[in-house]
Structure 1
Amino acid sequence: METINHVYFIGVVAVALIIDLALGEPPRVIHPTHWAGVIASWIDARIPRGSPLVERLAGAATALLLPTLFSSLTAIILSLVKLFLGNVAWMLASAYVLKLSFSIRDMERHAKPVIFKVAEGDIIGARIHVSRIVGRDVSGLDAPLILSATVESTSESIVDGFCAPVFFFALAGVPGAMFYRVVNTLDSTVGYKDDVHLNVGWASARLDDALNFIPARLSPPFIALASKLSGADWRNCLRVALRDHHETESPNSGWPMAAMAGALGVRLEKRGKHVLGAEYNFPRLEDALLSVKIMRLSCILFYFALTPLSLLLGFTAQGYLESLSLTLISLLR
């Protein structure tokens, strides 16, 4: 029976990746992280301002309880699916929820239109598209800086859009991946350093940094391997990652971004913030397109590299959480 269950868990791994590469993201209305963001915004609007301590405590409670709620609901729903519908339905449901925690195709879908608009000479259109994947002011960006922003966002997404949720899936199954994704959503919703969110979003931002710490540092070797397979410079990828990772304000995003800068031999710059690969020229169109290819390949390599760990730890953790869910449900009946 244990062998059969492991086969189903391997099915979860395979089907989730197939769903992402073939179909991409579902409509927002049925995406749990969309609703996590809606709930986070609702809570944020109701947290009383004026006391930094109260703001931090409320923000910390939200940062811990909301991800726990979503991961617990994930375990409960999947345990009920297995109980009433069987292993195949459980495998498909688990794969679908796992896919919701990461995305490769969606990043491609956002990055390539920017590159194509630059290729057409449509800078206004390129700014519109790049504004959807970066948080900076894009109104004054020229073509080189637009391509730089695109490569930066593409490389950063390797960690927070893929490697981190997959890492926590390997440790704690699908509920672990969902926990990470909701934390990351909270960081995107309230983890800002403006006057309104400086204290409220502090815990979400710090927790997101902590959860990304290991995945970010695991990413350069996979970017290097993907670079070698794609014809880019894998040695320079590692060299620049080690040299320039600390240049970014974030303690984590510099690792994949500097690795990509080295692999492509390009300069990545956010004016007034950071420069990675300072000795190189800005990305060309072909560099930006290659970054998308490297992103996709490095994610797939990471995914399958962590499959043994997911079978060892993630499978066991998810089974335990689902059993615990059924026990709690039986006690409440």
Structure 2
Amino acid sequence: MDNSTIVFFVPVIAFVLDYFLGDPKGLPHPVRFLGKALEIYENWVKSTSLSPKIMGAVGVIGFAIVIWGVLKLLVSIPYLGILIALYLAYSGLALGCLLKDCRKVAGLLDSGKFEEAREGLAHLVSRDVSTLDDSEMRKVLAETASENLNDAFVAPFFFLVVTGPAGMWVYKAVSTMDSMWGYKNEEYKDFGYFAAKADDVLAFIPARITAMMMMAAGRIMKLNWRDAWDNLLKDASKTESPNAGWPMSCAAWLLGASMGGRAVYFGEEKEKPVLGPEGEVWSDLRIKRLLGLLGFTGVLCAILLYIYFSLVWIA
């Protein structure tokens, strides 16, 4: 299968399947196999006396090379390769799943089913949500929804149209390593160092594309795009991550509600920088508008990235 087939057909079909169906159900998801392989590698490194920092870097580079080589080989198989490429692309996108999960939690909050909403939210975030009230849960939901628009959809789709399914899954592998190993605690600060840095590098351009597309979508939807434009650069630079602040601060200013503040991770309290207008809370209406914004941004981003890189390939 040549590159033109991947560029012109696979991304479009994968996007439509993901947006309307969400994650493929009843089929083996590549990220499960990836997670298991990373767990085996981590446990092996821990059982040796090798340098965690060096072996963390070896793991990132090694998995990237193997994934690239194996997937390039698989998608090159005549006829069958097209189906493999399509499944890899479809399973690597998560916009539909993100919106579905966030809408479910939002609906539970709107219905006053706070404990069920708390349980659903706990599956979406790594922080402790056990003591949050309904207003705080909405804020956390807004934070994770806006941040994950890039991680779950824009960045994977970007690499899909630029490099094909193989490059997309190299990005997904690095992102998964960062999720599993990229903690700044005693256990992972060395082992996960390279994974966290690699994820920062790979997500750098997509995060900024996400914010710009969100800004464009917000203007079309007549949200507070002037406030977002005036404050995006200032607020985006506040976060520890060089990328997370871009979609989060853009969403906060577009919807006119704040993000950040006190959070508890693994028993440790952390004061996160405040993004957006201080003191403004996330109401149910703002959450509904945010999820509408994220869905529209995803569609807009997919269309523009697809058209741009298709034209690049043609040229």
TM (normalized to structure 2)? 0.90
Aligned to 2:278: 279
Greater Rg over alpha carbons, structure: 1
Question: Partners in 2 of 1:314 and 1:132 — Cα distance?
Answer: 39
Residue equivalent to 2:198: 207
Deviations 1:92-122 (A, max 9, x none): 4323211222211110121112111211222
The Cα of 1:68 is off from its aligned counterpart by 2.3
SS at match of 1:135: coil
Compute the RMSD of aligned alpha carbons.
2.3
Which residue of structure 2 lines up, in the alignment, with residue 187 of structure 1?
178
1:38 maps to which of 33, 36, 39: 36
More helix by share: 1
Which digits, 9 at most, give the CA deviation of each residue in 1:55-102, with x for residues without a partner?
A: 01111011111122222221111111xx2x2xxx54443232112222
Determine what percentage of the aligned residue pairs are the same residue: 27
Q: Is contact 1:172–1:313 with CA below 8 Å preserved after alignment?
A: no
> How far is the alpha carbon of 1:312 from its aligned partner?
5.4
Instruction: Note the 1:172-321 alignment, pairs <5 A.
Output: 172-271=163-262, 272-311=271-310
Which one of the candidate residues 103, 117, 126 is aligned to 1:126?
Answer: 117
1:65 paired to 2:62:
yes
Where structure 2 has 5 or more consecutive residues not aligned to the other structure, the ranges are 263-270
Q: Which runs of 5+ in 1 are unaligned?
A: 317-333
Shift of 1:20: 0.4
The amino acid of 2:24's aligned partner reads P
Q: Using a 3 Å threshold, how does the CA distance of structure 1 residues 179 and 50 change in structure 2: closer, same or farther? A: closer
8 Å contact from structure 1 (residues 165, 180) kept in 2? yes
Matched residues in 2 for 1:69 and 1:299: separation? 30
1:25-53 CA distance string (max 9 Å, x none): 124861112211111111111213796x7
Question: CA separation in 2, counterparts of 1:170 and 1:238?
Answer: 28
Q: What CA distance in whole angstroms lies between the structure 2 residues aligned with 1:54 and 1:279?
A: 44
Q: Deviations over 1:181-221 (max 9, x none)?
A: 11101111111122111111111111001111111122222
- What is the alpha-carbon distance in structure 1 between the residues aligned to residue 282 and residue 159 of structure 2? 33
Matched length: 307
Residues 280, 226 of structure 1: alpha-carbon distance in 2 compared, 3 angstrom cutoff: farther
Q: CA deviation at 1:311?
A: 2.7
TM-score normalised by structure 1 residue count = 0.85
Match of 2:76 in 1: 79
Matches within 5 A, 1:4-15: 6=4, 9-15=7-13
